[in-house]
């Protein structure tokens, strides 16, 4: 790979992270009221989305490195770990505001955030870079 290709790949990865955090903030802020029956502040929605996506990137990097021969297994383990982590993270965010988020509601919101990363974020990044979606 040339230096230019590496820079383009890094820029696309950073953009994908930023878009994922922004979409995650919108989903957390909206669905925490509708599904969770709690009122997360915009700041808590931002930090929850940023922490969740950053840990997801680090876990997936580590799993991809250690299980490079079995990427499908690494992908599935990464999804399960992120689902469980985000469920607990959203409950902790609710507790910081002296509210209680039921586990099944937190799990449903986490599932929506993870699905949105594939359904919403990927096409947005593809459209920005002019790739076919």
pLDDT at 130: 79
Which residues of the chain, if any, have pLDDT below 70? Answer: 132-133
pLDDT at 132: 57
C-beta of residue 101 within 8 angstroms of C-beta of residue 36: yes
pLDDT at 10: 85
3-state secondary structure of 60: helix
41-47, long-range: CB < 8 A, 24+ apart: 41/97, 44/93, 44/96, 44/97, 45/93, 46/21, 47/93
pLDDT at 133: 52
Please give the model's pTM, rounded to 2 decimal places: 0.89
- Encode pLDDT of 61-95 as tens digits: 999 899 999 989 999 999 999 999 999 999 999 99
- Give the residue from 93, 116, 101, 115 showing the smallest Cα distance to 36: 101
Give me the residue spans of the domains in the chain: 3-129
């Amino acid at each position: 790979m040339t230096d230019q290709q590496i820079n383009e790949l890094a820029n696309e990865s950073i953009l994908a992270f930023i878009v994922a955090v922004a979409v995650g903030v919108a989903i957390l802020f909206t669905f925490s009221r509708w599904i969770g029956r709690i009122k997360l502040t915009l700041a808590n929605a931002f930090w929850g989305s940023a922490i969740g996506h950053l840990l997801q990137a680090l876990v997936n990097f580590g799993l991809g490195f250690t299980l490079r021969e079995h990427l499908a297994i690494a992908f599935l383990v990464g999804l399960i770990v992120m689902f469980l982590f985000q469920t607990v993270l959203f409950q902790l965010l609710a507790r910081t505001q002296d509210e209680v988020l039921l586990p099944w509601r937190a799990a449903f919101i986490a599932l929506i955030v993870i699905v949105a990363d594939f359904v919403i974020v990927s096409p947005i990044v593809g459209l920005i870079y002019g790739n076919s979606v």
